[in-house]
Amino acid sequence: MVSEPDLFVVCKNCSSEVSPYVTECPYCGQRVRKRAPKIEKNGGGPGATQAAKPPSLPRLRRGEMPGISPDARPYATLAIIGLALVLTVALSSGAVTFLDVGLIGPPGEQWWRVLTTVFVHQSTGYAFITLVSVAIFGTHLERRFGPVTLILLFLVCGAGGAAVSAVAGIYPAFGANGAALGLLCAWLVEDRRAFRRGEDRENDLLGVYVIAGVLALTFVADPFASAVAAAAGAVIGSLAGLLLSLRR
């Protein structure tokens, strides 16, 4: 802050108030000082405090907009989809058969099949529906809760649904319809709980309900899809959504 005496200088000859940056009085011509004071680069005058240097910001990263942080890439979701596609190619080439990794009958002592069968799709249409759904809701969940939560949620909903189908004796149980429907229900329950807390995220729920209906009815178009696995995955995902809603 500039003090009052530094705002002007009093001429000793005519007692006029003149600028502190002149050497002669403009009213009487009397020399006020030998040389004008040095003007600081920050615009401050005599007695002015040094202005604080504004903090510097790092350079923007690729794809980053000023003031908006970039969305993290959903690597876990992409890895799940990539694994399913790789297994689909392996099945098409004959390197792996449905009997090797799918839940086509009672698992016996090979209960690990309830996990691998989630990545097995008998038809292209079935794979497209489930994997696109996983891409949509897996991305949302991963960006909100992290990749570890997304992977665990996918495996629990998918393998849990296949296990329930096996216990009920309903075969075959191929594909990720239970996992995809579980991710959808987890996202939907968490979103609706947030809405009740006053967080309106303005999501288009009509499209969500349409996708849910298609996933629930995949067993109609593909006999290798299990309706029990889809229903169990939806229940597990809904319960997980309730737990996720506690993590704000």
In tens, the pLDDT along 203-231 reads 889 999 999 999 999 999 899 999 999 99
Name the nearest CA neighbour of 191 among 135, 248, 152, 148. Answer: 248
Q: Is 24 helix (H, G, I), strand (E, B) or coil?
A: strand
Q: Contact at 8 Å (CB) between 118 and 179?
A: yes
pTM recorded for the entire structure: 0.71
Residue bearing tokens 């979701």: 77
In tens, the pLDDT along 118-156 reads 999 988 999 999 999 999 999 999 999 999 999 999 999
Number of Cβ within 10 Å of residue 105's Cβ equals 13
In tens, the pLDDT along 11-62 reads 766 667 777 777 777 766 666 676 666 655 554 454 444 555 555 555 655 5
Query: C-alpha 188: how far from its chain's center?
Result: 16
Half-sphere exposure of 224 toward its Cβ, with a 13 Å CA cutoff? 19
As to burial, measured by CB atoms within 10 angstroms (0-12 exposed, 13-18 middle, 19+ buried), residue 92 is exposed
Q: What is the largest CA-CA distance in the chain?
A: 112
